[in-house]
Every structure is written in C-alpha cells, then in structure tokens.
Structure 1
Amino acid sequence: MKKVILFLIVFSLTLFAQWNKIEVIQYPYIYSALFSGDDIYVGGDSLYISRDRGLSWNSVCPTNQPIEITALYKIENVLFLGTYGEGVFLSSDNGENWVQFNSGLGIFANYAKKFISSGDTIFYGTDGGGVYFYKLNTDSWQAYNENLPDNIAWSTNDIVISGNNILLSAGASGFYYIRPKGSSAWIEKRLVSPTGGYTTPNTFLPFNAIVFTGSRAGIFRSYDYGDNFEYVGINALSLNVVSFVDQGNRVYAGLTRANDFFVWYSDDFGSSWNPLYHEFQGLKKLFIYDNKIWAATNDGLYFTNLPPLNVEPDLEIKNFVLEQNYPNPFNPKTVIQYKIGKRQLVSIKVYNVLGNEVATLVNEYKEAGKYQVEFDASNLSSGVYYYRLQTDNVSLTKKMILQR
C-alpha cells in the first residue's frame, strides 16, 4: 500500500503536456533520430526524412527491404546510418542515396548501436561486435576492443566522449569502461548503486565538466570525466534511467517504469530533480530540437513544446530550499532545515533505498519562512535514506546516511 501512495505523491505533481505524434511515421518502434538544420532523420523500419522541421515527410530505405535503423550520425556532410543486421551505410547527398560500408567489420558488428566522433575519427558501438573506429577518407573500419571481454562487453549500451576520455557502457554485468584518447586499452570500472551492489549504465551525458549516467538504480554524477560517480538520483520509485538531454543549464532525464515514461529535470547540475512529464509509452530516447522535446518511443515519434527555462514554477523553486541535514552521517538524530516561499501545504517524508516511506516529519500548512525539523532514526538500521520536501509544485530530495 505504501508504494501505491508513494506513486501518487510523487507523480501527482507531474505536468501532463500536449504531446503530438508524427502520424506519417506509422511504424511504431523508433530507434534513432538525427536533427541537422532544417532536416530531421528518423530511424524505424526505414529512414524517414523531413526537410522542413517536421512539417512533411518522405521515406527511403538503404536496403532492398525494410530494416531497423538503429543509429544515425552526421559529420562533414557525410551521413552515417547503422542498421540492425546489415551494418553501416554512408550518404553524401543528405540521405537520398546510400553506399554500404562494412569493410573491416566483424560479422556481429553489423548490428549498430551508436556513432560518435572526435576530430576526424568516428567511433562505432555495436550490439555484439564491440567497438570500431574509422578515420575519414580512409577505406576501412578498425577494431577498438583491446581489453574488452567479448563475453560481457561487446554489446554497447552507450558510448560518449568526455574530456580526454571515451566512456563505454556495454553488457549487463555492472561494468563500464574508460579509454583515454591515445591509450592502448580500455580500463574496467564499476558503478556502485546506493545499496552497495553494482549497476550497469544505460546512458551517459557529458554536460560541461560534469558527466551524468543513469541505470536501473537511478542517476549518478561525475566531476572527473567519468572516472568516479556519485549517486544523485531519483529514488521515490523503481525507475530505469534510459536517456538524458540538456538545454542551457537544465538537464532532462528520461525514465521508464513498466509501459510508462517520465521526464524529470534538474536546474542545479543534478543536486535535485523535479518531475515534468508523465506519459504512457515505452521510451527509448529523448532529443531537443526547435525548442521542443522529442521522444522516440515504442509507439512512434512524439514531440511537445519545452517550457521556458524561467517560468513561474522555476522561480518558485528558487524560493524553496531544502538544506543538507546536519550532522551527516548521523546517529541517531539529525536536523533538516528548509525554506518555504509562500504559504501552502508542506510535506517532508523519509524513504529507504527501496523507496518505502519510513517516516513523516512534516505534513501541514506552513507560512513563508525558514524552518527546521529533527529526525530521530533510533528504530532504523544503518544505511542510506532520502528525505523529500513536497508542496503543490515543488519537489526536492536529498540523501542522508545513518551510521551506527
């Protein structure tokens, strides 16, 4: 019963947006998308192209029959298209004509996941064949799998460039990998969940000098280009983080739970997260283009207008403050200070790492002002807990550690 109540508490604050579906694309599964100037390229069972920012569409197929198009990338007027089974195709005329380009690829490298680039080098993550690279104007791909165990790390989840590092998540064994540019091999790393186990990243987002990553255990943040991560995530429910996008200083996280997806955002570099959207399709990836947020789902391609970065809810959030508890770690008592911007119903509750409510500290109307409340954890076991301040339109969460 607590989980049901918790679900209603967290997501009763969510804004339900008017999402628009691109009805011309009738194939339900959207695997990839690329936005370039006025052109939009969308990968489903064919390549769908709009030359006018989504007003009209046509489709082309680089093979003789429909095939899943799972990766799209553009560099120096060359389009890279990755398929699930037929490898890589290139186009130099904005997608009108295609040439297959699989020279140097192993058989399992014909299953594309993602392209990225650094300078004139394209890196290609595959689903089963590991990682390859290609230098522009050469004639072949080259393997880039040194020190990647083929039994657990050749199926790419995500690959990005962060500073001087290439970050790779692959497989499902709780590992990710770093390879400094110019180094001879990948370095194996672990992402530690709040419960102390290991969790596999689904996605990365390099964001200024920060890197975000997300998994089934929540959201994590790194200040050293991905070498180490700290947990900063949303733990109110069991949500699987599958995508990040950014706009200015705001980061959006796309999360899934069963057949729903949610969009949360942070305006303080991941220190706190707030709900924005709750929809009812399986999410694959988020994109931002033309002041809209686009969702590639298992029910087609959707978009909705982004809220301005300085709308009233954001201004109100600045007038609401949830301080870090002190002392922290603590045993068994700690004090939580908070600030309310205007009179309204205020709730502060404490949750364990499973998302179960363990204490209600505040649940009453408060006038604008600064307050503090004591939390006594004498009846709780050692571990990580989360406390959440909620009002009609603000939701702030922080982590604390009970250490006996």
Structure 2
Amino acid sequence: MKKILLLFILLIPFTNIYAQWYWTNPFPQGNSINTFKIISGKFVSVGECGTVQMTTDRGVTWQFSNTVADLRFDITALSCYDQNTYYAATYGNGGFFIKSTNAGLNWSVISTDIYPNGLSSRAIQFLDTDNGFLLSRYSLFTTSNGGINWSPPRSVNSIIEVRDLHFFNKDTGLVCGGDVLFPGASLIRTTNGGINWTVIITSLGLVNNMQFINSDTGFAFHDYLTYLTTDRGLTWDTLGNPDSLVGGYGHFFDYSTGYVMGKSLYFTTNSGANWTEKEYSIFHPLEMHFDNVNTGYITGSNNIISTSNGGLNWSNISGPTGNGTASTRLLSACFIDQNTGFVVGWTGALLKTTNSGENWNNVNTLTSTIYNHIADVDFINSSTGYCVRGNSWNGDLLKTTNGGNNWFVADSIAIPSGSLQSIKFVNQTLGYTVDNDGNIFRTTDSGNNWSLHMNLGNIELDNIIFADENTGFLSGYVHPYMASIYKTTNSGQNWALISNLDNQYILSLYAVDQNTVYAAGRGLLKSTNGGINWTQKLPGTLATTIFQNTYFSSDSVGYLAGTGIIYKSTNFGENWYPLYVPTNNYLYDIHFFNDNTGIIVGENATILKTTNGGGNFTSGINQISSQIPDGFSLHQNYPNPFNPSTNIAFDIAKNGFVQLKIYDITGREVSTLVNQDLKPGSYSYCWNPENLSSGIYFYILKTGSFISTRKMTFLK
C-alpha cells in the first residue's frame, strides 16, 4: 500500500468553521453521520464528505471538520484507541486510512488504496499503536506498523454482510454480520489472524455489533437476540430478550446491566431476565452507545438524540426536526430585503430568516399529503408572497399576507393538470406561474385572481424569469435532451420560441439584463443577444456536468452550483474556477446580497453561507467525474492567458501513476502538480503560479505510455 505525505487540517469551533462557506442549516451541519464512538464523555462521529464532528457537552457546542487533508470521501469506520489516538477509514477510491494523535484536532492520511474501489470500511481495531485490523465489506486487512502498510486481503466471505470485528490478540478474533434473507453465518472466529475462519453462530438476520466488557466476557447483538460469551467467543448463550426486539444494537456495562435497541429501547439489570421499555423517537435508528448508565446517544437517518437520565427522556442534539428534516431538498430561495428571506423545498419545507440567513425557523405551510413539495417562492412586497407546491400531476398556490408568518391556500387558481414549477412577479400586480403541462397562468391584481393565460403545447415548463418589466424568459423541454427557450418583450402578454437546444436541458435561467442570459443544466450556456444564440462557457467534461443553478451578484461576478461543487467567475462568465464547499450534497439554488455575501441551498436541508465571496479559488486536484473516459487526454488550460490562476483539465482512462508537471520556456521544471496514482475519471487542477514571472509555460501529462504537452501564457 502506498504511504503518502502527512497532511493536517485543524478542527476549530463550530461557529465560522470555514473561511469560505459555513453551515447555517441544519444544526450543526448537514452531512450524514455514518458511525460514532464515546470516549471519556466525548461524542466523536464521522460521516459524509470527510466529516468529523465532536461534542463534550451533549450538543450544546460542537467542533467539526468537513475535510481531512481535503478528503471528500465518506468516512465509514472509526476507532478511538485512547483519549488522544483516533483512527478512521473511508468508502470509495480504494480507501483512505487516517489518524489523529490529539483527540481529533488534527488528522493525517497514513495510507491509501487499501481495498478495491467501490468497497467501504466497516470497522477498525488497534491492539496497540502498531498492530491493527481493518474490516471492509468482504475482507480483513492487518497492519503491524500503524497503518502505513496493510496485508493482502483475508477473506471473510462466509458472512454475506459484515458489520463489526473484535480481536483479543494478533491471532484470535471475531467478525460478525449475517444475511437478512437467508440463514447463514452471522459470527465467525479465527485463531490465525484471519487466514482461516470457523463459523460459530448461524442464523437468519444480522449480528450488528459486539462489545466486550473484559478480556473474556462479551455480548453480540443480533436483530432478534442477544448473545453472551465468557470464553472469548468460542461458545455463546442467548439472554432473555424483549418480545418486540427488532434490529438489535446494544451496550452493556457489566455482566448484568445493559441496553438493547430496536423499535424501542430496553434496559435490564439481571442479564435479560427482565426488561424495562424506554421509549424514544428517532427516524430509522442506526447506532447506540452509552458513556455510563445514564448518559447515552442514538444516531438515526435524520438526527442525533441524547439522554442524561438513563433513557427516561431524550432530546435532539442535532437538527433538524419537523419541516426541514434531513431528508428535505431545499429547492428555492427568495429574499425580501437584506435580512428577511425564505427557502422552500420538499415535504412542505418553508424556512424563514430575519438575519440574512444566519438562523432559520420552520414555518407551518399546511403540508398536504397530496401536494408534498414546494417548488418556488416569490414576494411582491414585504407582506405578500406566494409559493407554488404540488406533486407530479397537480398542485396549488400558497399565499401569505403577513410577511410569511402564516400561509393559506389561494383558491383563486384552477389548474387543469400538471404541477406548478416556478412563479415570478413582474411588478406589484402582474405575475406568472408555469406548470409541467405547458400552461402559463397569469394574475393582474397582485395574485388575488389567477387565470390560464396560454398553453404552449407539449412541453414541460420549469423556469420563468424577468430581466425587467418587459423582457422575460421561459425554459422547458419536450423530451430530456431537447431544451426550449421562450421570450417575451411585452411583459408576458406574448411568448415566442427563440431557441431549441439539442442534447441539452436547462435547470435554471438567470438574466443579467435583457441581452445577457445564462442557462445552467448540462454545463453553462451564455447568450449575449437575448437568448437567440448560446455558447457553452465550460470546457471539456465540465460542459456535460450537471449544474442546478447560476446567480450573478453583479455584472461580472457569478456563481454556479452543482453536486457538492461551486464555481465562480469574476470576468462576466467567461472563465470559471472551483470553490471549496463542505458537502457533497446536491445544491439547488443560490442567492447573493452582494459580491461577498450569499447563501446556497440544497438537499438534506442544506443552507451554506459565505461572507467573503466563497473564499479563494480552490488550488489543487479536483475529480469532476468518476465516469470512465474513452481515452487519456490533456485539455487546453482555461483561461489562457491567465492571471492569477488557471484550470488544467485531463482525463484518465485506467488506473495508474500520473504525473502533471510545469516547465518554463527553457525546459526547466518549475512545479509538480500531480505525482500519484489516480483512478479512472476526469480531473481538473487549479494552478496558481504565485512567485513565477510572466511568460510562456508548458504543462506535460504522463501516465503509462501516454504523454501529452500543451502551452499556456501567464500574465502578471
């Protein structure tokens, strides 16, 4: 396995974690948590996009990092060896193994490419600082030098789905798991370090986790049973179990006292002879740990709950709850002024802020099981606003007359079919909304009455915008790869088809003025003649990357949002540079108050804010697609000439060692940008020459027998 340079990222307090973007919803952040541990009263969890999240006061304050050496893969396994030494490993890209020696404050990447791409780590255990074990979905790996090198995989295929491991020494250990469909091995034992295995327990279902309270005595928690061993897992007895236990996960403090978790929480003080039920409320409970008999934590798909009185009462220590749960996609943002704004989305979510997006409150929107998501929101003044909501075949309008504090169904619109997708008011009285059945609805009295204005035929309309009171644009599609754009020059009275774009679809429109219009979808299109002609502004594979929205905070400064990515332009949309965002979530809408301050919203109730224009352009390598390209290629840098930085894009067709180097005009090597193994995919490197002088430079990509050279010009 490859040892790489140790890279460190400081974990700092929750407030204003990032100089670029920081979380304002949900609390404390919106990436999913995959697993957690309790060490000396400290809650330590890891999750998506390299998230490490910690609290020592049951969620009153948090420390977290969304990057470990710019790690954007999901962390799926965690082990706390002692109060200072933590280990973690990732899913995807062959596996990263990372380590902290100061209680999670700093992390280092120790090794990579541990297991085949597409597999995930499941569990980690270290016997000492040198000897450890890493369990992936199908294999066990061992190390004798602290994770710098790992053994070849040792199969655990006798278990269909592995979940946990426990080793007593370098030779003797256990792995558990099982199969929810067919009876089979659910706990296996080795006495030679995983080379050979003996099936100890066969069952239908999963043994989800194991816990040992001393060197010999431990528990294994099955979906329906709790097992006890006193001889290091050689033999097991079953404890008495609650009748309704399903999906068991457990924690014991001694031979007699412990908890098991299923549909409810159960507590015993006599080794399972009797159980006391303690209710809790959490969607899809995933994992449970207790620090002591009173203080414990449970993670679920949406949140984290904690108890300080032995499970009698539970409190949410991470949001969100109710409307705006972690499963919510936030689709659209609208601000009345610099302070007051609204964000809407799935499951009837409507959030309101009165302090420029720093804090958000859920607003009751009369969520309907029929019309289950809100697609768009717009206000005509500080008091009166409208939301469009619906499902795939129908919808309605919601209205507020008191600044968004209360909402009611506006019954003045009759929708023959289709779901309302977008709403926009041209002025205080004139407004439009469109649906996915080609209908345009119109109001001329501030929304008190609506009527069907026209039908454009067999087209799904999904965006309506206005550059001014006269000029507006509509976008939709007849089929997924034929986008159509309509235009009005008389305030929406008439609409004319001005563009049919083959092999393209549009997810959002933004008009800087009546001539300059942007369309985000497959890449980013720009028109400078009012939508008649369009030019793709993104090079290479970025031109086929899906972007959800674009927004210009001024004529020259624009932002482009996609799946866990933000790009920024400072030269009127001509060139775009990546910005770092602390999530891989889909990002659906953007709103900026000025060139520096703005928000982005997305799935899992994501709301991120920046006060410095999204931070500096990301320098370094960025994988922009994992789709395997047809061949190797090196693209022309953009912009070119450039100052202060430029993007170099390249495609890797198969696994291999890759070098990307920069040379000056004399042939002298001035910088090595990439010098590592890469998986197949498309990559981009943002290079900032910093201390180099102006002039012509050459960049060369080498991998295997492939060599390609291109020229670029740096202007200071």
* Bin of the TM-score, shorter chain as denominator length: 0.5 to 0.7
Aligned counterpart for 1:130 among listed residues 439, 442, 447: 439
SS in structure 1 at match of 2:580: strand
On the 8 A contact 1:220/1:230 being kept in 2, the answer is yes
* Bigger radius of gyration: 2
How far off is 1:143 after superposition? 2.1
Decide whether aligned partners of structure 1 residues 56 and 199 sit closer, same or farther in structure 2, where only a CA change above 3 A counts.
closer
Residue pairs, 1:135-284, within 5 angstroms:
135-137=444-446, 139-146=448-455, 148-149=456-457, 151=458, 153=459, 155-163=460-468, 164-171=470-477, 172=480, 173-181=482-490, 185-192=494-501, 197-208=502-513, 209-216=515-522, 218-237=523-542, 238-248=544-554, 249-256=556-563, 261-278=564-581, 279-284=583-588
Aligned counterpart for 1:43 among listed residues 318, 341, 344: 344
How far off is 1:240 after superposition? 0.9
On the 8 A contact 1:241/1:255 being kept in 2, the answer is yes
On the 8 A contact 1:162/1:226 being kept in 2, the answer is no
Whole-angstrom distance in 2 between the partners of 1:105 and 1:388: 60
How far off is 1:122 after superposition? 0.5
Decide whether aligned partners of structure 1 residues 108 and 370 sit closer, same or farther in structure 2, where only a CA change above 3 A counts.
same
How far off is 1:255 after superposition? 2.2
Question: Structure 1, residues 23-62: CA drift from partner, whole Å, max 9, x if none?
Answer: 3432432233322233332324233333444435243123
Aligned to 1:365: 670
Aligned to 1:81: 387
On the 8 A contact 1:205/1:213 being kept in 2, the answer is yes
Whole-angstrom distance in 1 between the partners of 2:507 and 2:588: 11
Higher RCO, Cα 8 Å, sep 6+:
1
Question: Structure 1, residues 56-102: CA drift from partner, whole Å, max 9, x if none?
Answer: 52431235668322221100331112111440122111123334224
Aligned to 2:417: 108
Question: Structure 1, residues 155-197: CA drift from partner, whole Å, max 9, x if none?
Answer: 22211113543211112333222232267643223354xxxx4
TM-score if structure 1 supplies the norm length? 0.67
Identity %: 14
Aligned to 2:592: 288
Aligned counterpart for 1:32 among listed residues 332, 345, 355: 332
Task: Verify: 1:297 aligned to 2:602, yes or no.
Answer: yes
Whole-angstrom distance in 2 between the partners of 1:184 and 1:348: 46
On the 8 A contact 2:396/2:415 being kept in 1, the answer is no
* Structure 2: tracts of 5 or more residues without a match: 1-18, 27-318, 620-638, 652-659, 664-668, 672-691, 700-709
* Structure 1: tracts of 5 or more residues without a match: 1-14, 317-335, 352-359, 375-386, 395-404
Whole-angstrom distance in 2 between the partners of 1:246 and 1:75: 21
Whole-angstrom distance in 1 between the partners of 2:642 and 2:377: 46
Residue pairs, 1:351-390, within 5 angstroms:
364-365=669-670, 367-371=692-696
How many residues get paired?
322
On the 8 A contact 1:337/1:373 being kept in 2, the answer is no
On the 8 A contact 2:25/2:359 being kept in 1, the answer is no
Task: Verify: 1:93 aligned to 2:402, yes or no.
Answer: yes
Q: What is the letter of the counterpart of residue 128 of structure 1? A: D
Aligned to 1:62: 366
On the 8 A contact 1:250/1:269 being kept in 2, the answer is yes
SS in structure 1 at match of 2:506: coil
Whole-angstrom distance in 1 between the partners of 2:520 and 2:367: 34
Aligned to 2:139: none
RMSD in angstroms over aligned alpha carbons? 3.9
Question: Structure 1, residues 232-265: CA drift from partner, whole Å, max 9, x if none?
Answer: 2243444112101222331001123xxxx21001
How far off is 1:269 after superposition? 0.7
Whole-angstrom distance in 2 between the partners of 1:64 and 1:340: 53
